[in-house]
Amino acid sequence: MSKDALAAIRTQVMWNRLIAVVEEQAQSLLRTAFGTITREAGDLSAGVYDPHGNMIAQAMTGTPGHVNTMATAVAHFFRHFPQAAMKPGDVFITNDPWLGTGHLFDYVMMTPVFLKKKLVAFFASTCHVIDVGGVGMSAKANSSFEEGTLIPHSRIRKEGVLNEELLAVILANSRNPVEVRGDLLSLISANDTGARRLMEMMEEFKLASIEPLAKHILTQSEKGAREAIRALPEGEWSYEMPLDGYERPITIKSRLTIRKGKITIDFSGSSPASIHGINSPRTYTHAYSVFGLKAVIAPHVPNNIGSLSCFDLVTEPHTCVDPIRPSPVTARHVIGQMLADCVFGCLAQALPGKVQAESAGSIWILGLNSAHGRVPPEQTANAKMFGVINIGLGGIGGRPGKDGLATTAFPSGIGTIPVEVTETQCPLWFRRKHYLANSGGAGEWRGGLSQVIEIANREDAPFTISAATFDRIHNPAQGRDGGKPGAKGVARLGSGKAIPDKGIHVIPPGDSLVVELPGGGGFGDPSKRARDLLAADIAAGLVTETAARDDYGQDAS
What local confidence, expressed as pLDDT, does residue 557 receive? Answer: 58
What is the layout of strands, in order, in the sheet containing 490-493? Answer: 428-435, 451-457, 512-516, 490-493
Give this prediction's pTM.
Answer: 0.96
Does 8 score more than 90 pLDDT?
no
Is the pLDDT assigned to residue 359 strictly greater than 70?
Answer: yes
Tens digit of each residue's pLDDT (9 = 90 or more) over 376-405: 999 999 999 999 999 999 999 999 999 999
What SS3 class is residue 111?
strand
Q: For the residues 77-98, what does the mean pLDDT come to?
A: 97
Q: How far apart are CA 127 and CA 362, in angstroms?
A: 18
Residue 112 belongs to what H/E stretch? strand 106-115
160 Cβ partners below 8 Å, 6+ apart?
Answer: 88, 89
pLDDT given for residue 2 in this prediction: 83
Q: Measuring CA to CA, how many Å separate 50 from each of 20, 120, 187?
A: 16, 7, 19
pLDDT digits (tens, 9 = 90+) for 239-291: 999 999 999 999 999 999 999 888 999 999 999 999 999 999 999 999 999 99
Q: Is residue 250 within 8 Å of 244, Cβ to Cβ? A: yes
- Cα dihedral 299, 352, 266, 97, rounded to 10, equals -40
User: Is residue 555 pLDDT above 80, yes or no?
Assistant: no
Q: Is 229 helix (H, G, I), strand (E, B) or coil?
A: helix
Residue 434, helix vs strand vs coil: strand
pLDDT top residue among 390 and 62 = 390
DSSP state for residue 471 in the 8-state scheme: -
C-beta of residue 365 within 8 angstroms of C-beta of residue 277: no
Candidates 307, 300, 302, 305; CA nearest to 263 is 307
Phi/psi of residue 233, nearest 5 degrees: -70, 140
Does 1 score more than 80 pLDDT? Answer: no
Phi, psi of 472 (to 5 degrees): 60, 25
pLDDT at position 67 is 86
Specify the pLDDT at position 126. 96
**Domain-by-domain residue ranges, the chain?**
3-209, 220-353, 356-557
- The predicted pLDDT at position 556 comes to 59
- DSSP letter string over 332-390? THHHHTTHHHHHHHHHHHHSTT-SPPP---S-EEEEEEE-TTTS-GGGGTTPPP-EEEE
Report how far residue 547's alpha carbon sits from residue 554's, in angstroms, rounded to the nearest whole number. Answer: 9
> Chain centroid to CA 516: how far?
20
Quick one: which of 77, 69, 70 has its CA closest to 154? 77
Average pLDDT of every residue of the chain: 96
What distance in Å separates the CA atoms of residue 249 and residue 439, rounded to the nearest whole number?
23
Q: Give 255's contacts (C-beta < 8 A, 6+ positions apart).
A: 236, 237, 238, 265, 266, 267, 268, 346
Q: Do 157 and 163 contact (CB within 8 A), yes or no?
A: yes
CA nearest to 340, candidates 298, 295, 289: 289
pLDDT given at position 62: 83
**pLDDT tier at 346, thresholds 50, 70, 90:** very high
Residue 330, pLDDT above cutoff 90: yes
Q: Over the range 236-250, which residues count as b (16 or more CB within 10 Å of their CB) and which as e?
A: ebebebebbbbeeeb
Bridge partners, residue 505, by sequence: 465
pLDDT, tens digit, 9 for 90 and up, residues 197-251: 999 999 999 999 999 999 999 999 999 999 999 999 999 999 999 999 999 999 9
- Strand, coil or helix: what is 204? helix
At residue 84, the pLDDT reads 94
H or E element, residue 516: strand 512-516
Residue type, 484: K
pLDDT 10s digits, 108-162? 999 999 998 999 999 999 999 999 999 999 999 999 999 999 999 999 999 999 9
Strand partners, 147: none
